[in-house]
Amino acid sequence: MNSIAVYSSKGGVGKTATAVNLAYASAHRGKRTLLCDIDPQGASSYYYRIPIKGQFNKKQFLKGRFKKYIQRTAYPHLSLLPAHFSFRNLDLALDPEAGNELKKIFASLKDDYDVLVFDCPPNMTLLSENLIMAADQVVMPVIPTTLSIRALAQSIKLFDKIGAERKKLRAFFSMVERRKNMHVDTVRSYRKKKVFFKTLIPYLADVEKMGATREPVAVSRPGSPAAVAYDRLWMEVWKRRV
């Protein structure tokens, strides 16, 4: 089982759009995939039209009693663990001395899935630390602007601080707009650095429209530039898995 955390300390950089479309690409290419919506905003669950069932909340999740709340999506090989509003307090329930509680919890799924994708909330907290430790690979969307590059530098610092291996951190440029000089210049300066994937995700209306279609772009707009870009990103993520 390979786990991939789509993470950034910055909000609104395209984490959920990426998690939703990467998980779809993984499943479409035949991997038994579980998308874990760890963000209490529940956007991934919303995009896949998955409601929360029964008594699911952070207590069940942290006790590792969450398998029965996993739901199938409309697509082959793809399931989803929905987020719950109580996840907003996950940080308070985690042991600050441990750092690897979530890694242990997710390890119980190793025979059931080939790929786990975590849609992480925008934070730099104990929960972020747990998600980074639980992941084999951390995929970070970076909008080509100063503050996003700064968030990448801060994440590298966080990796060092918590003792996570830097080699499992990979970034890609997200929401790239070719008509903006700053985007073009930033991509040009950083793209060849080892930490970056080659694939970049352009700013495309089809991704924005996912809020209305509530489908991955490869379903709502098969063969579109957005669908092709996410599939290409998935191939790179899979190829460079640690």
Applying CB under 6 A, the residues found at the interface with ligand ATP are 11-17, 39, 41, 43, 122, 175, 201, 203-204, 207-208, 210-211
23 binds, among Mg ion, ligand ATP, none (CB under 5 to 8 A by kind): none
Instruction: Quote the least distance from Cβ 100 to ligand ATP, whole Å.
Output: 24
Strands 115-119 and 78-81: unpaired
Tokens of 53: 């069932």
Q: Per CB under 5 A, does 8 bind Mg ion?
A: no
Shorter beta-carbon distance to ligand ATP: residue 41 or 86: 41
Instruction: Quote the least distance from Cβ 114 to Mg ion, whole Å.
Output: 23
The DSSP annotation for 54-111 comes to TT-SHHHHHTT--GGG-EE-SSTTEEEE---GGGGGHHHHS-TTTS-HHHHHHHTTTT
**How many Å apart are CA 194 and CA 198, to the nearest integer?**
9
**How many Å apart are CA 83 and CA 50, to the nearest integer?**
10
Shorter beta-carbon distance to Mg ion: residue 43 or 229: 43
User: Which residues from 14-53 bind Mg ion, rule CB under 5 A?
Assistant: 15-16, 43
Instruction: Quote the least distance from Cβ 165 to Mg ion, whole Å.
Output: 25
Shorter beta-carbon distance to Mg ion: residue 20 or 152: 20
Phi-psi region of 49 (alpha: psi -120 to 50; beta: other; left: phi over 0): left
Residues that bind Mg ion (CB under 5 A): 15-16, 43
